[in-house]
Amino acid sequence: MSANSGQTYGQHLPDQVEKISGLYDAQLELLADVRDLHKERAALEREYAAKLQLLAKKAADKKAKKMPALVLGNEPTKAWDDNTLHKSTLDKAYTQLITAMTDASQDHVNLADALNDKVIEPLKATERKHEESKRKEIQYYQKLLSDRDRVYSDRMKSKQKVAYPTGLTNEGADMLHTIQYDEECQEVEAYRQKQERSADDRHAERAARQYEQQQVDMLNSKNSYLISIAVANKVKSKFYAEDLPALEDEFQDLQSRLLTSFVEILKQAQDIQLQNLDALRSHLTATEAALDAVSPQADQDLFIDYNVAPFAPPPDWTFEPSSVHYDLGEMSVEPAPKVYLQNRLSRCRAKIEELDVVLNSKRREAEQLKKLVAAYSSDTTLGNVNEVLDNYLDAQHELTFYTTSGVVLSAESETISAALQGDEGAQNPHSFKSSSFSIPTTCAYCKVGALSYGETTYTACLTAVRPSQQSSIWGLSKQGKTCKACGISVHSKCELKIPADCTGTRHHGRGHGASDSVSSISRSSSVISRGESLTPSATSSAEGVTPTPSSFAHTAHVADEQGPTARVLFDFTPTSPFELAVSAESIVHVLEEDDGSGWVKVADESGAKGLVPASYIEVVDGTPAPNSSTSSLSSGTHQTSGEYVRGLYSYKAQGPDEIDVEEGKLIRLTEGPNGGRNYADGWWEGVDASGKKGIFPSNYVEAA
């Protein structure tokens, strides 16, 4: 918010936050210089005029060195000379101030005491206040960059193979589920070759089903990749068109207020001298007039004029086809991918509806605070305008993060809607809830074709199990979902792929599931569950708690099952891409138990997954680890890594899943593939001094 009507940084200096911050630093250095100047003068007043002359000379030397950076910045874009500096109202005022000191020849102790109480200390307080304001603005800028870069990174991750940590909530996993496009294209080619090799043997039918299913997965990953491109482009546009200009205008407003406060304090110093030294009245009057002439807007216009540089926003990203699979940059709306898109669109719209309520509230709050700042600025008797300004800036920053989440959701919704062209499904959702399965249960989606991807298919080949065995969900550590209305069960990863054909009644005997072929999935179906359409933040919102901005943002991980902990008994060297290399005495997590094939699927401490012989490991902890970060928040004891971090800045928790960060206080990081530093991009998980477990921004702490 800028109170000036002239040029603004955001409009005329695009993407020059560092340069503007440098100007702010120069202004703060000026405050320190002037404060030191008066402090030394107060001492020299007692020693009389001789040393006052020496002090004035020191001030002039500092001015000569620092005034170019103060007026024009560290790297002006066009030539300048001393006459250019003299155009600055601040330069004129500072010059007059030093001249008045030079002409002063006498002083006394009362003046020194008055200068200390009414000039030096207020300058120090103003400097401290604005240093804190600048630090917050820089933190906000770094957070904007971090959020933008995270979206950029998500675009690349959706195309290239990336290892994802486990442990997100089911709702977050469904919203963020991303399969790498390049990897899926390679898998399609592998299954095609496998189908050709097995054309004449008894596995031909199964190979054909696997190839068909892999094609569907490839198309889904392609759609996710295109969505991530659209999201990244929208976020980029908002970043350069809205966020950066707003931040630069905030800097401009803070600088204006800094200079205004600076001038007011110096005017007070002149009043003190006029009261105590009639002999200096003529010099002080001239200095006061020069200070009155200080115009932050005029000096800012001068700074802008000498720092204008060419700028063009980065170009939009476009679809990049895989090097091993020819394809076009168009969304796939074949029957199976269309169901996935319809489900994803429904979830996206549910989040948009929730976010709209929060956005309207935050906008009203920011507008009210803006009016309050204007009122306090025009009438200082109302109270401390700096406190009100801090509240306004905090509200504006929070609103910015919410609007960024809205841009992400809108980009995703618009991209999917354009691809579906109005065919958004019948919206007869299943009421899926997370479940554990103590007996083998058929996945209603996987039994249509090949259930498995990669490792499980490899296990099936080793043991020649029937397809119906492959589609089962079995084990306390292998989480799935069950519709509470019709009773069908699916893998967590299959929820978005199954049509929304919930009958509302349970079927017996053969069971209710998907049709006999993937291609028969209805083009007008959607699987989104109304019971799970909102994130945990939506629940808290319904209870009167405002969701935090991070509750609408995408994290970098996909939820996965995590089973018991096991110790490796022997070294194992993989002989296929589906197997995992492990070393004796290392610790792994069991993801899929032995189904009779002699193999188990595990994940090591780095997050890598694969198959190992069941006889090569020994389970040491039979209790499955929870797959939700929120489920552990209520636990009385927490497993920690022993690593501590120290708070750099104070941070107030904005949601029930977050913890406070206090400057200088220690936080112990949690352990595991989903804890500590592995929780999410920009967010770590830890336990504070009170024993509460939660997440916090990683850029607010440093290693202890």
Asked whether residue 58 is assigned to any structural domain, the reply reads: yes
Q: What is the mean pLDDT of residues 363-377?
A: 89
pLDDT digits (tens, 9 = 90+) for 635-677: 444 556 678 899 988 888 887 788 999 998 999 999 877 788 8
Asked whether residue 678 is assigned to any structural domain, the reply reads: yes
Distance from C-alpha of 211 to C-alpha of 589, rounded to nearest angstrom:
30
Asked whether residue 301 is assigned to any structural domain, the reply reads: yes
Same domain, 436 and 291: no
Same domain, 48 and 121: yes
Confidence of residue 82 (pLDDT cuts 50, 70, 90): confident
Same domain, 115 and 143: yes
Give, as one character, the DSSP assignment of residue 482: E
Same domain, 65 and 142: yes
- Identify the residue with better confidence: 281 or 462: 281
pLDDT digits (tens, 9 = 90+) for 484-495: 778 788 887 787
- Would the pLDDT of 43 be above 60? yes
Residue ending a domain, among 621, 642, 668, is 621
What's the pLDDT at 347? 81
Same domain, 32 and 100: yes
- Identify the residue with better confidence: 518 or 13: 13
Same domain, 135 and 268: yes
The full DSSP string for 328-353 is -SS---SHHHHHHHHHHHHHHHHHHH
- Would the pLDDT of 595 be above 90? no
Contact indicator for 195, 151 with CB cutoff of 8 Å: no
Confidence of residue 471 (pLDDT cuts 50, 70, 90): low
Query: CA quadruple 582, 588, 591, 596: dihedral positive or negative?
Result: positive
Same domain, 570 and 688: no
Give, as one character, the DSSP assignment of residue 684: E
With b for 16 or more beta-carbon neighbours within 10 A and e for fewer, the 130-153 pattern comes to: bbebbebbbbbbebbeebbebbbe
* Residue 213 C-beta-side C-alpha neighbours within 13 Å: 20
| CATH code for position 478 | 3.30.60.20
Q: What is the mean pLDDT of residues 85-96?
A: 89
Contact indicator for 90, 259 with CB cutoff of 8 Å: yes
Domain that holds residue 511: 432-521
Q: What is the mean pLDDT of residues 283-290?
A: 87
What's the pLDDT at 315? 92
Asked whether residue 426 is assigned to any structural domain, the reply reads: no
Query: CA quadruple 107, 110, 115, 116: dihedral positive or negative?
Result: positive
Same domain, 452 and 499: yes
Asked whether residue 228 is assigned to any structural domain, the reply reads: no
Same domain, 453 and 582: no
The number of distinct structural domains making up the chain is 4
Asked whether residue 570 is assigned to any structural domain, the reply reads: yes
Same domain, 573 and 514: no
Contact indicator for 487, 437 with CB cutoff of 8 Å: no
Distance from C-alpha of 61 to C-alpha of 57, rounded to nearest angstrom:
6
Contact indicator for 662, 596 with CB cutoff of 8 Å: no
Distance from C-alpha of 110 to C-alpha of 264, rounded to nearest angstrom:
21
Distance from C-alpha of 63 to C-alpha of 52, rounded to nearest angstrom:
16
pLDDT digits (tens, 9 = 90+) for 236-260: 999 899 989 998 899 899 999 999 9
Contact indicator for 520, 420 with CB cutoff of 8 Å: no
Residue ending a domain, among 285, 305, 325, is 305
Confidence of residue 456 (pLDDT cuts 50, 70, 90): very low
What's the pLDDT at 513? 40
Same domain, 144 and 53: yes
> Which one, of 244, 314, 301, 285, lies nearest residue 18 by Cα?
244
Q: What is the Cα gyration radius of the chain?
A: 33
- Would the pLDDT of 528 be above 50? no
| CATH code for position 683 | 2.30.30.40
Provide the residue type at 564 as one letter: P
With b for 16 or more beta-carbon neighbours within 10 A and e for fewer, the 70-103 pattern comes to: bbbbeebeeeeeeebbeebbbbbbbbbbbbbbbb
Same domain, 697 and 592: no
pLDDT digits (tens, 9 = 90+) for 624-636: 444 433 334 334 4
Distance from C-alpha of 498 to C-alpha of 11, rounded to nearest angstrom:
49
Provide the residue type at 281 as one letter: R
pLDDT digits (tens, 9 = 90+) for 430-445: 777 776 665 677 788 8
Residue ending a domain, among 489, 521, 553, is 521
What's the pLDDT at 265? 93
**First-to-final CA distance of the chain:** 38
- Identify the residue with better confidence: 459 or 276: 276
Confidence of residue 383 (pLDDT cuts 50, 70, 90): confident
pLDDT digits (tens, 9 = 90+) for 311-368: 888 999 988 888 888 888 888 888 888 888 888 888 888 889 888 988 998 899 989 8
- Would the pLDDT of 1 be above 60? no
Helices (H) and strands (E) in the chain, counts: 18, 13
**What does pTM read for this prediction?**
0.46
Asked whether residue 79 is assigned to any structural domain, the reply reads: yes
DSSP H helices, 440-591, are 455-463, 467-470, 536-542
Phi-psi region of 11 (alpha: psi -120 to 50; beta: other; left: phi over 0): alpha
Residue 187: partners with Cβ closer than 8 Å, 6 or more residues away: 214, 217, 218, 453, 454
What's the pLDDT at 568? 93
Asked whether residue 455 is assigned to any structural domain, the reply reads: yes
Distance from C-alpha of 239 to C-alpha of 227, rounded to nearest angstrom:
18
Contact indicator for 353, 363 with CB cutoff of 8 Å: no
Residue count of the chain, please give it: 704
